[in-house]
Chains A and B, each alone.
Chain A
């Protein structure tokens, strides 16, 4: 038989040897309620006043919140945006544009801009190459 069961079987020690003054439990709640009534604060009010009771804790929480917000905005949003902006400025324009636009179109555009001073013959040649009739051109000019 193990020790635990030995002790559990032996009921002699299970008797409660302590007693209380007569009428103790009948008056105990009065004693506590008297102390509670002396404190003019109900549980609801205690809950509401919690923030007023810990001004330093609240101030520290606000400062902490602002610090965390600043860190998040500065390092996770502002800094990466700045980084991309700088990269864009530093990058060779050709590196960005070449993959997007056809090389021939760029060359064509370059030709046009290089010969920015177009004269009447150039225009006429261009229009004729595009199969636009001479009469239509003269009608347009005389309009």
Chain B
């Protein structure tokens, strides 16, 4: 696995005209994987995640001179990617007249046919119930449950208090368990 330099070294080189391109490539290679999976879990489709990730890095390239190194680069990148993904979903759902249940079912049909989704029925059911959650609650759940990001870090990324995030996660878990227990007769206590 390739070892990357510290964020400070990479940023300093990006700000030098002679080394900016090589250093920015290094930044992409360092963060592309966690950012991709974060975005993919929000938008589900690979092509959409790819577009959003490219836009994210182009925005980062333009905005990096304004980046204040008070916050972590990692946090800043995740914040930009999250906002890009949320804007994408908002645009996509703007003219949508389907109910949330129908929308969720439509997504499941798409996922079944998606060559880049190889989950079983349980994972499909999990995605279906996740789609019933409000976008921000789904993001909180994904970050905490799948990525195990600490609440403090999530708070910086999502610019939301730790208390609100904990409450959001708790509500999401409750909804998911209720749904899974009802629809799949699957006991999570076992």
Please report A residues at the B interface, Cβ cutoff 8 Å: 1, 3-4, 6-8, 10, 12-21, 24-25, 28-29, 31-33, 35-37, 42-44, 46-47
Contact = CB atoms under 8 A, between A and B. Distances in A.
B65 A4 contact: no
B20 A43 contact: yes
A7 B189 CA distance: 8
Contacts of B169: 4
30 contacts: A3-B170, A4-B169, A6-B177, A12-B122, A13-B123, A13-B126, A15-B119, A17-B118, A17-B120, A17-B127, A18-B40, A18-B41, A18-B46, A20-B46, A21-B116, A28-B32, A29-B25, A29-B32, A32-B28, A32-B58, A35-B58, A36-B24, A36-B61, A37-B21, A44-B15, A44-B20, A44-B65, A46-B62, A47-B65, A47-B66
Interface of B is mostly: helix
Contacts of B57: 32
A28 to B, nearest CB: 5
Given A33-B21, A33-B25, A7 B177 contact: yes
Contact of A46 (B32, B40, B65, B123): B65
Interface string B60-96: 0110111000000000000000000000000000000
A128 to B, nearest CB: 90
A25 B49 CA distance: 13
* Closest CB pairs A-B (n = 4): A17-B119, A47-B65, A17-B123, A29-B28
Nearest to A26: B29
B29 A29 contact: yes
B20 A16 contact: no
B62 A43 contact: yes
B37 A6 contact: no
Contacts of B21: 33, 36-37
Interface string B27-58: 01100110011001100101000100110011
A143 to B, nearest CB: 88
Interface residues of B, number: 47
B123 A28 contact: no
Nearest to A17: B119
Contacts of A47: 65-66
Given A18-B117, A43-B20, A25 B32 contact: yes
Most chain A beta-carbon contacts within 10 A, residue among B20, B117, B188: B188
Contacts of A31: 54
Contacts of B118: 17, 19
